[in-house]
Amino acid sequence: MISRAPLAWSAAGLLAAIALPWCALQEGLDSGAWLGGLWSSEDYASGLGQIVEHGKWWLAPTLLALAACLAAALLPATRQRRGTLLLIASTAGLLLFVAQALGIGLRGWTAAWLTTLFGELDGRQVGLGAGGAVVLVALLSLLSIGLALRGGFGGDAFVAGAVTTVASSIVLFTAWPILRILVQAFQDGDGLLAPALLVERLATEKIWSLRCLSGGGRCGVAWNTLFLALGCGAGTTALGLAFALIVTRTSFGFKKTLRVLTVLPIVTPPFVIGLALILVFGRSGLVNQFLEWSMGIQPTRWIYGFQGVFLAQLFAFTPVAFLVLIGVVEGVSPTLEEASQTLRADRWATFTTVSLPLMRPGLANAFLVGFIESIADFGNPIVLGGDYGVLSTEIYFAVVGAQLDYGRAASLALLLLVFALGAFFLQRRVVGTGSYATISGKGDSGLPTPLPDRARRAAACVALPWAAFTLMLYGFAFVGGLVKVWGRDYTPTLDHYAKAFAVEHTADGLIWTGAAWNSFWTTLKLAAIAAPLTAALGLIAAWLLVRQRFAGRATLEFATMLSFAVPGTVIGVAYVFAFNVPPIEITGTAMIIVLCFIFRNMPVGVRAGMAAMSQIDRSLDEASLTLRGRAPQTLFYVVLPLLRPAIVGALVYGFVRAVTTVSAVVFLVTAEYELATTYIILRVINGDYGLAIAYSCALIVLMLAVILLIQFAVGDRRLGRRAVALKGGRA
């Protein structure tokens, strides 16, 4: 019997090798210029044309492996035998593909030992194009089908394909770039391996000093980073939980306003929060001016240092914790809480022994995200750090400073990975192997238990002043864009907005004459492309990690957090290193920016999805399978509708971080693809604060509108529970 899926993928790969250009085109595939040169032109030739007409014999073995997969799909064979043939042929094809892609570059062999082994190569190879990409995807798909036919992943081709897709994409666009930059930690200036240099670069007083504890100086940047991350992780988790409890378990009358205030920092370019804090608490800020005028207290620079960075990070990353925890708090089963009260437990005992333990996965995930966000943060420490150095700023200065020491930057990035790995395993130990399922296939008509008075008052005392503080900061930031010069001339004006977003009506129609329009439309387009891909890949990865059992699952889970643990500056440099030369040349294109957005922001979708999915009872999946529902049907019709809070969180985070990110893309933007944040930073460097604040306010309005649109499009999760108005914290 002919197997349709491997037949289709084998045919697609071979057709691409015949009818599409193998190499990347400078003018793009949509230009059509390649159509007349599939054989005659080396730049436009297909894979088969490269072999036959241009002597690139090294491509032939990969295409022969693809032809072997086609034969395996056509030959009569048992399921097990066909799977074995596909697995052997596709694995061989992938190994050959990777070997020739990495072994041959613009000047022939890429390593001296290859030249010694095989002799000089009369030929070269540029970056992969559409034909090579389709062949690679086809081989990966055939590999996953072969694994499923042999019984891997429960014999489910969809699960096998999902695991292969997630794993290969993370290897290609996360692990490979980071490996390219981190390997320099073990190299000297000439590129030769020197592992002792790693110890020499890290074993310095500037990194590990503890003099601050004895009052005799500063602590090293490693300890500064660790202390700051622990405080940020704990603080953002506590604040996020307080907001989530108030929104879901109290009768607070301004819940929607509170939700908006909670997510405001996440829709703000990171340096805006630091700038607002300086305007309020800086040496020439409003608070210092008032204290000097009213009490004669001399202005200080207390906002610069640990306290300023810590405060800014709490503002910046509390929304992430809130997005992770809101679905977890909503998911706690009222039936379990009612059962506790039936056994004569009061509301405080129920909250501490039933509700909070069921939130443990969400709390641990929120802490992990806050911790890793803090160690990878660059914008806040560079603005408010002062003399308080952290690893991310040290890496930045090692890359862009006068020293230009990539080896030192790579060594410090490796240290950040160690910190992230420690936090990851700590999180796994805290969560353990217990069951936290609270959403099952049974009806749950229980009423949400109101918060105990002590918990309600504590949450209100924490969250409401923080919300007021947030409102105050954003008020000053908004006003800063409506005055001529903050601190000198407070004359109201709209000149900054007019300069950025002017539109002229002419006989030929509307002309976008504002200086910010080009970067605005580019940012909006790329973020709109990246956000759904980020959410989809993150939630599929979460489903695989929580619902499937396969070898290497723990490794894959850590790999999903890998890009989060590395500062954005390192990610940007790593992408330039990895994708500026063959086999993948995409530097300077929109694709590299979109890929950076996706794999930089995906971890939040993964953690939110895992936290929410851990509350969904497996019996729902089993019921779907009993009714002959396949894995994709179970995922799309059973699991995803119950993950709407996580979907909203992943989409919102993916979009707004794509709009507001700075450090990860500062090395990737070009004149053609200028982004809003890089444009704003240039205005800040030039001292044009009014225009920078005006542009930032416009971005905030845009992102709030997009958040509301996402919430409306995705909808709310319906759990079939009764609703009741909570008055004074009581049902």
**CATH assignment of the domain containing 392:** 1.10.3720.10
pLDDT band at 613 (very low <50, low <70, confident <90, very high): confident
Give residue 50's region: left, alpha or beta (phi > 0; psi -120 to 50): alpha
pLDDT score of 451: 81
**Residue range 642-658: mean pLDDT, rounded:** 86
pLDDT band at 727 (very low <50, low <70, confident <90, very high): very low
- Collect all residues with Cβ–Cβ distance below 8 Å to 132 and sequence separation of at least 6: 22, 23, 47, 101, 583
Give the DSSP per-residue string, 564-616. HHS-HHHHHHHHHHHHSSTT---TTSHHHHHHHHHHHHHHHHHHHHHHHHTTB
pLDDT band at 719 (very low <50, low <70, confident <90, very high): low
> What proportion of the chain, given as a percentage, has pLDDT over 90?
28
The last residue of one of the domains, among 96, 129, 150, is 150
Q: Is residue 176 part of a domain?
A: no
Closest listed residue to residue 447, CA positions, set 256, 677, 200, 731: 731
CB–CB of 638/624 below 8 Å?
Answer: yes
**Residue 55 sits in the same domain as residue 140:** yes
Highest mean pLDDT among 126-135, 295-304, 391-400, 621-630: 126-135
Is residue 298 classed exposed, middle or buried when 0-12, 13-18 and 19+ CB atoms within 10 A define those classes? exposed
Q: Is residue 729 part of a domain?
A: no
pLDDT score of 15: 96
**Residue 421 sits in the same domain as residue 524:** no
- Collect all residues with Cβ–Cβ distance below 8 Å to 20 and sequence separation of at least 6: 29, 46, 129, 130, 131, 134
Given a cut of 80, whether residue 356 has pLDDT beyond it is: yes
Q: Is residue 79 part of a domain?
A: yes
pLDDT score of 597: 94
**Residue 126 sits in the same domain as residue 254:** no
Closest listed residue to residue 317, CA positions, set 243, 264, 373, 392: 373
Domain residues for 52?
A: 4-150
pLDDT band at 728 (very low <50, low <70, confident <90, very high): very low
Q: Which of 129-143, 290-304, 409-423, 527-541 has the lowest mean pLDDT?
A: 290-304
pLDDT score of 172: 95
CA 578 – CA 585 distance, rounded (Å): 8
Q: Which of 169-183, 382-396, 563-577, 691-705 has the lowest mean pLDDT?
A: 563-577
Closest listed residue to residue 721, CA positions, set 657, 642, 646, 667: 642
The last residue of one of the domains, among 97, 121, 150, is 150
pLDDT score of 289: 74
pLDDT score of 437: 47
**Residue range 575-599: mean pLDDT, rounded:** 91
∠ CA 475-300-306, rounded to 5°: 75
| 384-430 per-position pLDDT tens digit | 888 888 988 888 788 776 667 778 888 888 888 888 888 878 877 77
Q: Is residue 10 part of a domain?
A: yes
**Residue 251 sits in the same domain as residue 385:** yes
| 316-354 per-position pLDDT tens digit | 888 888 878 887 887 777 777 778 877 777 888 888 888
CA 378 – CA 309 distance, rounded (Å): 10
Which of the pair, 416 or 290, is modelled with greater confidence?
416
pLDDT band at 443 (very low <50, low <70, confident <90, very high): very low
Q: Is residue 283 part of a domain?
A: yes
**Residue 227 sits in the same domain as residue 140:** no
- Which two structure tokens, joined as six digits, stand for 420? 């992230």
**Residue range 507-532: mean pLDDT, rounded:** 90
Q: If you search the block for the tokens 């999760």, which residue do you land on?
A: 717
CA 374 – CA 232 distance, rounded (Å): 7
Closest listed residue to residue 131, CA positions, set 55, 65, 59: 59
Other CB atoms within 10 A of residue 578 CB: 21
Given a cut of 90, whether residue 58 has pLDDT beyond it is: yes
CA 398 – CA 408 distance, rounded (Å): 7
- Collect all residues with Cβ–Cβ distance below 8 Å to 415 and sequence separation of at least 6: 202, 207, 222, 391
**Residue 539 sits in the same domain as residue 671:** yes
Closest listed residue to residue 730, CA positions, set 287, 250, 124: 250
> 439: which DSSP letter?
B
Q: Angle 157-170/130-149 helices, nearest 10 degrees?
A: 130
**Residue 130 sits in the same domain as residue 242:** no
**Residue 470 sits in the same domain as residue 521:** no
| 14-35 per-position pLDDT tens digit | 999 999 999 988 877 877 778 8
**Residue range 182-211: mean pLDDT, rounded:** 83
Average pLDDT, the chain: 84
| 367-389 per-position pLDDT tens digit | 988 898 898 888 788 878 888 88
pTM recorded for the entire structure = 0.80
**Residue 393 sits in the same domain as residue 305:** yes
Rg (Cα) of the chain, in Å, rounded? Answer: 28
pLDDT score of 335: 72
CB–CB of 439/612 below 8 Å?
Answer: no
Is residue 123 classed exposed, middle or buried when 0-12, 13-18 and 19+ CB atoms within 10 A define those classes? middle
pLDDT band at 731 (very low <50, low <70, confident <90, very high): very low
- Which two structure tokens, joined as six digits, stand for 104? 């041959």
**Residue range 678-691: mean pLDDT, rounded:** 79
Between the alpha carbon of residue 691 and those of residues 310, 498, 681, 696, 727, the distances in Å are 27, 9, 11, 8, 46
Q: Using the Cα atoms of residue 537, residue 530, residue 593 and residue 312 in order, give the sign of their dihedral.
A: negative
CA 158 – CA 256 distance, rounded (Å): 39
Given a cut of 80, whether residue 365 has pLDDT beyond it is: yes
The last residue of one of the domains, among 133, 150, 167, is 150
Q: Is residue 177 part of a domain?
A: no
Which of the pair, 614 or 687, is modelled with greater confidence?
614
Given a cut of 50, whether residue 699 has pLDDT beyond it is: yes
Give the DSSP per-residue string, 15-38. HHHHHSBSB--TT-GGG-GGGGGT
Q: Is residue 495 part of a domain?
A: no
Which of the pair, 526 or 292, is modelled with greater confidence?
526
Q: Is residue 406 part of a domain?
A: yes
**Residue 370 sits in the same domain as residue 237:** yes
**Residue 422 sits in the same domain as residue 275:** yes
**Residue 549 sits in the same domain as residue 461:** no
Other CB atoms within 10 A of residue 590 CB: 16
Based on the structure, what is the number of domains in the chain? 3
